[in-house]
Amino acid sequence: GTLRGNDCGIQALEIRLRLDRGDRPETTLQLGLQQPTRSEEHILLLLRERLERLVLPAPVCSVRLVADPLLPFDARQEALFEDDPDRSSQSLAPLLERLQARLGPDAVRGLSGVEDHRPERSWAMRKPDEPARCAPMPHRPVWLFTQPRRCRIEEYRVLAGPERIEAGWWDGHDCRRDYFVVRDRRGSTLWAFHEYKPRPGWYLQGLFS
């Protein structure tokens, strides 16, 4: 009632549990949200997820909830188009919050682009509430192998290339490669490269389809 009456929402909640043991300090839980909310049902769901994995050494005799600060609540109307980016991020927020409440705040991560031409170094992990960096990149496969796989280029048909990537001399991980789009006998389109240094040879880097 207080949140609706003041047109506010909460984005962070602290739960302080006092145990039935006078010699023990309060147990404090932190609950973070992707965006302000005033939904009691959603907050209780997150609290339940968080408390289910909590082991307490003694019964709880009191509970205090601290929500500070109260933030303006943006009661947006539903978007007219399904591909509206604001609507997409809002629909994902409850799921991300529930996963974080169940698994822990550090267990949920997203991906962000990095301005590095080396495929294995062109991305970085980020927290869900951190803005994604969209580094401009040429066409790349969605799936990259954990480690490049040696291959015999004679077994593939070259569709496009070469694309020269030469970088990394500044951080001690320098590479010099020529990349090609190739197709195997089953019709799969892959990303292959010929490496000149430090490990000369042909490798498969990723899969387009």
- Percentage with pLDDT > 90 across the chain: 18
Q: Which two tokens stand for residue 85?
A: 């980016």
| Cα 74–Cα 130–Cα 2 angle in degrees, nearest 5 | 30
User: How far is Cα 198 from Cα 37, in angstroms, rounded to an integer?
Assistant: 52
Q: Can you list the alpha helix ranges (DSSP code H) found in the chain?
A: 2-5, 40-52, 85-103
* Per-residue DSSP letter, 150: E
Using a 10 angstrom Cβ sphere, with 0-12 exposed, 13-18 middle and 19 or more buried, the burial of residue 206 is buried
Residue pLDDT, tens place only, 136-162: 666 788 788 989 999 999 999 999 989
User: How far is Cα 12 from Cα 14, in angstroms, rounded to an integer?
Assistant: 7
* Per-residue DSSP letter, 99: H
Residue 203: what pLDDT? 95
Give residues with Cβ within 8 angstroms of 24, minimum separation 6: 57, 58
Could you tell me the residue ranges of all domains in the chain? 2-103, 143-207
The residues facing 197 across adjacent strands are 176
Residue pLDDT, tens place only, 113-127: 666 667 766 666 777
User: How far is Cα 95 from Cα 150, in angstroms, rounded to an integer?
Assistant: 40
Asked if the model's pLDDT at residue 190 lies above 60, the reply is yes
Answer yes or no: pTM beyond 0.75: no
